[in-house]
Structure 1
Amino acid sequence: MKEGPNIAVVASLIGDPARANMLTALMSGKALTASELATEAGVMAQTASGHLAKLLSGGLVQVRKQGRHKYFALAHADVAVTLEALMGLASGQGVLRSRTGPKDAALRQARVCYNHLAGRMGVQMFHSMIDRGLLQDDCDVPVLTEKGRGFVEAFGVDIAALTAQRAPLCRSCLDWSERRTHLAGSVGRAMLARMETQGWLSRDSQSRALIFDEAGQAAFNAAFPAGERLHRA
């Protein structure tokens, strides 16, 4: 008998095209209804229900009721990190969707990855923070330095409140389009939320793209200047 986790079970759940499309749709961080997910998957409502039952049983999604409706979301951040890594692997192997369009460029520039910033701008933020001594990433586990804590607090994020939640402050997430690291964890989530409250960006209603206006782009570049580490790629 083989020992260790049975990755085949999880892989089979993600590997079905309809379920993969559902999970990808939930990477927006939004909770969606079964009918919305059926549309994303391109299947009938009854078929979607069967797929969602399997994802629930497998622990990849969670469901909550609001009135007469049920809303589905990714079960936790580990699912999002795994999906992003698989997207990067598929991209690196040249396994791409046959249809591309204007949205692709926007997604590669900036997008939401479950609850944090991804794409070129997400990678820029991560490496800018490392270059300036705000983050340490020596062991592939990002850690805020004292200087970094001060910077994040000054940015408008309550570190003490995040620490009290007992969730990881910082996590690394392999960006699928850049194939470099961007910042996840409660700090990554709070930083994106702060950018939204400051009006730097808006969310595209039809995709996971994040649209920075001219002033927001300038403010982002001032806060997270692209440094030497970013240009080595």
Structure 2
Amino acid sequence: MSRDRDFTAVGRALAAPARSVFLNLLLDGTRRPAGELARAAGVHASTASDHLAVLLGAGLVRCEAHGRYRYYVLAGPHVGAALEALGALAAPAPVVGYRPTRHAHYLARARFCYDHLAGRLGIALADAWTGRGWLAGRDELTLTDAGADGLQATGVDVDGAIRARRPTTRACLDWTERRPHLAGALGAAVGRRFLEAGWVARHRSGRGLDLTESGTAMLQEAWGVRLAEPA
């Protein structure tokens, strides 16, 4: 049996601007109705349904029914990781106007890559934890015993991450920074902890995250991390 992979099916699924908009919106792990995706891409509902059928057929998204409503979400963290890596190769989408430019700055500063922290925030955390010896290796980001103790003390569910059926840690290439941030089950646990503690909040305009006042203080006091405000 050939070990080669047929990339053409995935390539065809990605080869439409509207579908690119859909996947960018879903890349933060949120569930969104078809109508919201259609409005964001500027297409009619029937056209959005056709595009979503292509993404479903390619295994990039899945549809979840909640009562009378249907929501679309990425098919899993493996899809998020693949799209984030492709983002490092793809040309940036044109940004015109104040609000889209501001939104792009929020994405680059802090965002979710499916279920883990990305952007300058994700990179800064990976750097800080590697410097402290909590993570080993800039390309692998393996959890150390010191890291398990330190993150557990921060409230991160380290034990649950270790028991998860997915890899505990993984280095995910950040498409805005071109450097790896922490992914895997531990990355997801860190993301949950930051949300639950109120250190970050989902930005109302889209995928970007707001770093709260308590989060800003915690980052600086705990790990010496300081992020500049979006321009």
TM-score (norm 1): 0.88
1:38-117 matches, within 5 Å, as: 38-91=38-91, 95-99=92-96, 100-117=100-117
For 1:130 and 1:75, locate their aligned partners in 2 and report how far apart those are by CA, in whole Å. 30
Deviations 1:88-114 (A, max 9, x none): 2224xxx44142422222221111111
Matched residue, 2:168? 169
Identical positions, percent:
39
Report the RMSD for the aligned CA atoms in angstroms.
2.0
Q: Which amino acid aligns with 1:224?
A: W
Aligned 8 A contact 1:124 1:224 in 2:
no
1:149 aligns with 2:148: yes
Aligned 8 A contact 2:34 2:49 in 1:
yes
SS at match of 2:32: coil
For 1:37 and 1:96, locate their aligned partners in 2 and report how far apart those are by CA, in whole Å. 17
For 2:124 and 2:95, locate their aligned partners in 1 and report how far apart those are by CA, in whole Å. 28
Matched residue, 1:7? 7
Matched residue, 1:181? 180
Q: 1:84 to 1:4 in 2, by over 3 A?
A: same
Deviation at 1:226, TM superposition (A): 4.9
Aligned 8 A contact 1:107 1:119 in 2:
yes
Matched residue, 1:231? none
For 1:103 and 1:64, locate their aligned partners in 2 and report how far apart those are by CA, in whole Å. 28
Aligned 8 A contact 1:117 1:192 in 2:
yes
Question: Which stretch of the first structure deviates more once superposed, 192-201 or 179-188?
Answer: 192-201
How many residues of Structure 1 are paired with residues of Structure 2 in the alignment? 223
Deviations 1:67-87 (A, max 9, x none): 111111000111111211222
Structure 2: stretches of 5+ with no match in the other structure? 227-231
Q: Which amino acid aligns with 2:181?
A: H
Aligned 8 A contact 2:194 2:200 in 1:
yes
For 1:90 and 1:148, locate their aligned partners in 2 and report how far apart those are by CA, in whole Å. 34
Q: 1:25 to 1:52 in 2, by over 3 A?
A: same
Matched residue, 1:217? 216
SS at match of 2:198: coil
Matched residue, 1:25? 25
Q: Which amino acid aligns with 2:148?
A: R
Aligned 8 A contact 1:124 1:225 in 2:
no
Deviation at 1:222, TM superposition (A): 2.7
For 1:98 and 1:197, locate their aligned partners in 2 and report how far apart those are by CA, in whole Å. 32
Deviation at 1:22, TM superposition (A): 0.5
SS at match of 1:199: coil
SS at match of 1:59: coil
SS at match of 2:85: helix
Question: Which stretch of the first structure deviates more once superposed, 161-170 or 149-158?
Answer: 161-170
SS at match of 1:62: strand
Deviation at 1:219, TM superposition (A): 0.7
For 2:125 and 2:63, locate their aligned partners in 1 and report how far apart those are by CA, in whole Å. 32
Q: Which amino acid aligns with 2:15?
A: G
Q: Which amino acid aligns with 2:72?
A: F
Q: Which amino acid aligns with 1:147?
A: A
